[in-house]
Structure 1
Amino acid sequence: MEELREDHDDGTVARVAAIDIAKASGMVCLRVPHDTIEGRRVQQVWTVASTTNAILELGDRLVCQGVERVVMEATGSYWRPFFYLLEGRGLDCWLVNARDVKNVPGRPKTDKLDAVWLAKLAERGMVRASFVPPKPVRQLRDFTRTRTVFVQERTRHKHRVDKALQDAQIKLSGVVSDLFGVSGRAMLDALVAGERNSRALAELAKGNLVKKKAALIEALTGQFEDHHARLLRVLLGTVDHLTAQIQQLDHLIAQTLEEIATPGDGPGGTGTEPAADGMSAQVLAERLDAVPGIGPATAQIILAEIGTDMSRFPTPEHLVSWAKLCPRTIQSGAKNTTGPAGQGNPWLKGALGEAANAAARTDTFLGARYRRIVKRRGHAKALVAVARSILVITWHLINDPDASYQELGSDWHRRHLDPARKTRDLVRQLQSLGHQVTLESATA
């Protein structure tokens, strides 16, 4: 029988509060030790409105009660006022995943019972806190997520422009690689301004597109009417407005990155003020930009989602597990299997997916890793493996201020290949095809 010894605290909390949060209110359960009877707990349950003054009054009451920890479920975005205001009051707030704190099946379910159950789990140390970054990183996250939404919305409007042109029998997207490039945008503006002559429109071509004038004349010959021009004017105006907003967000993100510092050994380094030995997050983003597949925007998204302090993730494996880029282990008896990893952070996984897709097309170590895995596991799993490698590299670059990315080269696997193992694999493949293999050493 295996004996488990733990030198650390068992996680129990004597004075705890739990909040079951709804849109307009929250059900609070306070559990503290009895004043005179040892081993007995005193429980209080009441409703608090989700207004600023009511939450601040709740914070004062919990501080007076000496509450050591406040636990709440991640319910939409309604948890944010409770978490931020109580955190600002000096309380230790934990945000937990609602899936991990479900009540026993078959039991009645009310807001009061949910709050009591959550408090009992918290006081026994049976909950895990979700990752909530400090305030400056949360502000950076708001900017990057808004920019991502605006970029996606701009792409949708660009597709609507192409649909409007297809409706008018204008096949410009079949000839122009970028409909919103210099030549394409000039032709769109001319169509909106009233130009209908296909030859005149084709004369607006620039660069290599000049060689395709005949194809342009044919593609620009259609039934473009005033109705399409009015619709196109609205769509192009929306695209231009979103582009201006994205540029403004780029400026705000760069400014916020300069104000965020990585933790160092000197004073500060909490993410709210610069540390003596820390560096700005902007410098960190530039270091991440050296990794194949990661561009400036992707580096900014990664820092916004995981922060600049890796003490929350002791090892790269912890970060990979939190991002849900590794399979879930399932063991029962002598059987060991893997299950689905889960959803994870969609903003982080989206950025890592784009980075992995870009790195897969490069002649680098990450590109070679993709090509090795895709042959036996398929495209999707190969991309996840590359995304995991990128996240591990990111952890090391953030955690170690002296680290820098070193490219291993696309031939790294070949240079570190075991000749005997490779020979054995090739012989086995030939034998499976029905051949008898006799090995003979090559003469010099």
Structure 2
Amino acid sequence: MLKIVYPICCGIDVHKTFVIATIATTDRENITTYQTKRFSTFTRDLKALAAWLSEHQCVDVCMESTGKYWIPVRNILEPSCQITLAHPKYVRAIRGKKTDKKDSIWIADLFKHSLVPGSFIPPADIREIRELLRYRSKLVSFKSSEKNRVQNSLTVSNIMLSSVVSDTFGKSASAILEHLLKNPDDKDFDFRPLLHGSMLEKEADIALAIDGTITKVQADKITLCLRHMNSVKSYIADIESKTMLLAQPYSGALAIIQSVPGVSQLSALIILSEIGADMSTFHSAKHLCSWAGLTPSNDQSAGKKKSVRISRAGIYIKPVLVQCANAAIKDKSFTHYRTRYETIKRRRGHKRAIIAIARMILTAIYYMLSSGEFFNPGLYEKAQCKPGFVASSEAHAVKLLQRLGYVVVKEPESA
């Protein structure tokens, strides 16, 4: 028989306009009684929900994380209750027995036995920083979309600057594009004064690349896209300045995270906003890496592993850690990550290797924040990297030599 961990608890099924709450009370004979009530999501009714829970001496509450609708409920109940936020996959009801009332009872039944793992919810000040930085990531996506639209307009206008320059929005290319937009009929202008540095060597190719015609419609579209892109840039800069002010109380944690090779100030701020500064919330470094979606999944049946893909978790922190990993393997002052990357890449490929480095970085951050210590490169000097290719048999050794470019000829055995 399962142990009753919470004799008095509440399961809440959350919707946009209403919530269904069920208080499950278990007596000493392990008999559970249920009381179910419906409340709207207006603040007045949510306060009535809090009073109803207090009246029945219920402080342990479990509710499903439905979109953003759980946040108003949590805002009201947080001061008086211990709230466990559950992912929907952990509290999904049995098919054929699913109603709003039965859902809330099912959540309460699971929670009273402590069968529902709670989601990680950082403190309020960290949540505010996270909210702004996640909005920033959306703005960065908007800026990239506008760049793609400009590039599409240039392509249909036979302006092939992207085939010559590495960055269509660099200093030289932007100056040429600005001139083309202001003077669409001027095809033979002298663009050499607009070029900078190594771009002077590509003068002939640039002349061929700008031999096109930008129509008025395309010119208007490009102008609007550039104007929007510039405004989005200003919004991004404004958000970054606001988040740095909000993160001042965590300057020590930011300095610790930033001491890891490959981690910039902005990356450290994003990592802090996602995982917080208190590592006691996570059971171990492995738990944190699993939460961030950097560990292989367990999908095994009948002794066979079906998949070892990483999960889809960590959609905000995982890309940042991958960027940090790409920067870390290029850091010449600390070559351990580069060595580990090359070792894993030979066997598993680039993508798995870079995920492995990202996991190493997050593991280091976990222990550094737990102990309050800065990154110490000396701890990695004695670490021995495994060889990238181990010849376990004769055929394996031949394959290794052939991969390195050698021609292997087997001599006949002597009599």
- Range of TM-score over shorter length: 0.7 to 0.9
Stretches of structure 1 that go unaligned for 5 or more consecutive residues are: 1-8, 260-279, 437-444
For the residues of structure 1 that align with 2:211 and 2:358, how far apart are their CA atoms?
45
CA drift at 1:313: 1.2
2:287 corresponding residue in structure 1? 318
User: Matches of residues 28-427 of structure 1 in structure 2 within 5 Å?
Assistant: 28-33=21-26, 39-87=30-78, 89-105=79-95, 107-194=96-183, 196-259=186-249, 280=250, 282-329=251-298, 339-363=308-332, 364-406=335-377, 413=384, 425=392
Stretches of structure 2 that go unaligned for 5 or more consecutive residues are: 400-407
1:176-224 deviations in Å (ceiling 9; x for gaps): 2222222222222222222534433443112221232222222122112
Q: Which amino acid aligns with 1:377?
A: R
**What SS does the corresponding residue of 2:125 show, helix, strand or coil?**
helix
1:200-259 deviations in Å (ceiling 9; x for gaps): 344311222123222222212211232222111101001101000000011011111113
CA drift at 1:129: 0.7
8 Å CA contact 2:24, 2:35 repeated in 1:
yes
What is the CA RMSD across the aligned residues, in angstroms? 3.0
Aligned residue pairs total 401
- Report whether the alignment pairs 1:25 with 2:14: no
Q: Which amino acid aligns with 1:372?
A: T
* Identical-pair percentage: 27
For the residues of structure 2 that align with 1:47 and 1:110, how far apart are their CA atoms?
13
Q: Which amino acid aligns with 2:134?
A: R
TM-score by length of 1: 0.82
CA drift at 1:171: 1.2
Q: Which amino acid aligns with 2:223?
A: R
1:274 corresponding residue in structure 2? none
For the residues of structure 1 that align with 2:409 and 2:61, how far apart are their CA atoms?
68
Q: Which amino acid aligns with 1:206?
A: H
Instruction: Go from structure 1 to structure 2 and tell me whether the alpha carbon gap of 1:227 and 1:376 turns closer, same or farther (over 3 Å shift).
Output: same
Q: Which amino acid aligns with 2:25?
A: V
8 Å CA contact 2:172, 2:195 repeated in 1:
yes
1:6 corresponding residue in structure 2? none
For the residues of structure 2 that align with 1:360 and 1:23, how far apart are their CA atoms?
46
For the residues of structure 2 that align with 1:431 and 1:187, how far apart are their CA atoms?
55
Q: Which amino acid aligns with 2:37?
A: W
Deviates more, 1:331-340 or 1:112-121: 331-340
For the residues of structure 1 that align with 2:68 and 2:253, how far apart are their CA atoms?
29
Instruction: Go from structure 1 to structure 2 and tell me whether the alpha carbon gap of 1:166 and 1:431 turns closer, same or farther (over 3 Å shift).
Output: closer
CA drift at 1:428: 7.4
For the residues of structure 2 that align with 1:298 and 1:11, how far apart are their CA atoms?
43
For the residues of structure 1 that align with 2:241 and 2:111, how far apart are their CA atoms?
42
For the residues of structure 2 that align with 1:236 and 1:141, how far apart are their CA atoms?
28
8 Å CA contact 2:256, 2:374 repeated in 1:
no
For the residues of structure 2 that align with 1:231 and 1:347, how far apart are their CA atoms?
31
For the residues of structure 1 that align with 2:122 and 2:40, how far apart are their CA atoms?
25
For the residues of structure 1 that align with 2:18 and 2:156, how far apart are their CA atoms?
50
